[in-house]
Amino acid sequence: MAGDERRVVITGLGALSGFGSGADVLWDAARSGHSAEQSLAFDDGTEVVCAAVPDLDPDALFGRRDARRMDRAGQLAAAAAEEALRDAGSPTIPSERIGAAFGTAHGGAATLDAAYSALLERGADRVSALTVPLGLANSPATAAARTHQLRGPVIAPASACAAGADAIGLAAMHIRAGSADAMVAGGAEAPLSPVLVAGYRRSGALTPGTLGVGACSRPFDSARDGFVIAEGAGAVVLEERELALARGARIYCELLGYGASCDANHLTDPEPSGAGPARAIAAALANAGVEAGEIGYVNAHATSTPAGDAAELMALERSGLAGAAISSTKGSTGHALGGAGGLETVVTVCALRDRQLPPNANLAEPETLELRLLDEAQAAPELDIALTTSFGFGGQNACLVLSSRGGDPG
Average pLDDT over residues 376-396: 95
Give the pLDDT score at 2. Answer: 43
Q: Residue 3 pLDDT more than 50?
A: no
Q: Residue 158 pLDDT more than 60?
A: yes
Task: Map out the domains of the chain with their CATH numbers.
Answer: 8-405 (3.40.47.10)
In whole angstroms, give the CA distance from residue 324 to residue 295: 6
Average pLDDT over residues 342-361: 98
In whole angstroms, give the CA distance from residue 336 to residue 112: 18
Average pLDDT over residues 92-98: 96
Q: Residue 44 pLDDT more than 90?
A: no
Three-class DSSP category at 217: coil
Full-model pTM: 0.96
Q: E strand or H helix at 331, and its extent?
A: helix 330-333
Q: What does the DSSP assignment read for 62-105?
A: H-HHHHTTS-HHHHHHHHHHHHHHHHTT-----GGGEEEEEE-S
Q: What are the tens digits of pLDDT across the range 205-237?
A: 999 999 999 999 999 999 999 999 999 999 999
Average pLDDT over residues 86-100: 96
Average pLDDT over residues 144-168: 98
Q: Residue 410 pLDDT more than 70?
A: no
Q: Residue 287 pLDDT more than 60?
A: yes
Give the pLDDT score at 213. Answer: 97
Contact (CB, 8 A) for 83 and 70: no
Give the pLDDT score at 226. Answer: 97
Banded model confidence at residue 409, pLDDT cuts 50, 70, 90: low
Average pLDDT over residues 120-147: 96
Give the pLDDT score at 197. Answer: 96
Banded model confidence at residue 266, pLDDT cuts 50, 70, 90: confident
In whole angstroms, give the CA distance from residue 90 to residue 13: 12
Active site residues: 161, 301, 335
Give the pLDDT score at 105. Answer: 97
Q: Residue 1 pLDDT more than 80?
A: no
Q: How far apart are the first and last CA of the chain?
A: 15
Q: What are the tens digits of pLDDT across the range 165-199?
A: 999 999 999 999 999 999 999 999 999 999 999 99
Q: What are the tens digits of pLDDT across the range 101-111?
A: 999 999 999 99
| Sign (positive or negative) of CA dihedral 21, 23, 24, 25 | positive
Average pLDDT over residues 64-89: 97
Contact (CB, 8 A) for 184 and 101: yes
Return the DSSP state at 7: P
Residue type, 198: A
Determine whether 286 is exposed, middle or buried from the number of CB atoms within 10 Å of its CB (0-12, 13-18, 19+). Answer: middle
Rounded to whole angstroms, what are the CA distances from 320 to 206, 221, 280, 375? 30, 21, 13, 21
Give the pLDDT score at 4. Answer: 63
Q: What does the DSSP assignment read for 12-57?
A: EEEEEETTEE-HHHHHHHHHHT----EEEE-TTS-EEEEE------
Give the pLDDT score at 272. Answer: 86
Backbone angles phi, psi at 172, to 5 degrees: -60, -35
Average pLDDT over residues 72-92: 97
Contact (CB, 8 A) for 295 and 385: yes
Average pLDDT over residues 364-372: 94
